[in-house]
Amino acid sequence: MKQKALFLDRDGIINIDHGYVCKQEGFEFSDGIFELVKHFSDAGYLIFVVTNQSGIGRGYYTEEDFVKLSSWMIRVFQDHGIEISQVYHCPHLPDAGCRCRKPAPGMIEDAAKAYDIDLSASWMIGDKQSDIDLAHNAGIGRSIVIGQGDIKNATFSFDSVAQCSKHLPSNV
């Protein structure tokens, strides 16, 4: 039986986007993120992070830095009773033309294949048009944009992660 999933952007959703965050010291979790993700986790959704990380391609930090920070982030979610199934990232520059950089659907396609995901029953939460376009391009059923007002093709729009956590439909 296919599984449903929640796909989360990292910078701007899981954490405050301070620009090219690559160390724990600069990583500040968004208010309400644990409550929001727990809501989906408790409803039986697999949890994934899908993030563009061009800072790797630009040489601002290494793949090892990214993996180390991601491992720590996963442990913090585990401390809140939330299992992150996997973190997918694109290390390429915006003009690379790769299949993984959002809004291209490569990261979602990889997760769907590896975890047998029903994308039409899944959600994407992001803070940019490229996140919502990713959801649309990959066939994800519903999407939420946070902090950007109404963005084309988003199912729901909230001002903050905390607001989304408080007002999320109960039937996710």
CA nearest neighbour of 30 among 40, 19, 17: 17
- Positions marked active-site: 9, 11
Residue 96 domain-assigned (yes or no): yes
What does the angle CA 23 – CA 26 – CA 32 come to, to the nearest 5 degrees? Answer: 115
Range of the domain at 38: 5-167
Residue 35 domain-assigned (yes or no): yes
Residue 150 has pLDDT above 80, yes or no: no
Give whole-number Cα distances, 110 to 5, 50, 161, 162, in Å. 13, 11, 26, 29
Residue 57 class from Cβ within 10 Å (0-12 exposed, 13-18 middle, 19+ buried)? middle
Q: Where is average pLDDT lowest: 60-69, 143-152, 153-162?
A: 143-152
Residue 172 domain-assigned (yes or no): no
Residue 10 domain-assigned (yes or no): yes
CATH of the domain at 136: 3.40.50.1000
Residue 142 domain-assigned (yes or no): yes
CA nearest neighbour of 134 among 1, 2, 8: 8
Residue 126 domain-assigned (yes or no): yes
Model pLDDT for residues 6-41, shown as the tens digit of each residue: 999 999 999 999 999 999 999 999 999 999 999 999
pLDDT at 148: 80
Residue 52 DSSP SS3: strand
Residue 149 has pLDDT above 90, yes or no: no
| Whether the Cβ atoms of residue 12 and residue 53 lie closer than 8 Å to each other | no
Model pLDDT for residues 44-80, shown as the tens digit of each residue: 999 999 999 999 999 999 999 999 999 999 999 999 9
- Domain total of the chain: 1
130-139 mean pLDDT: 97
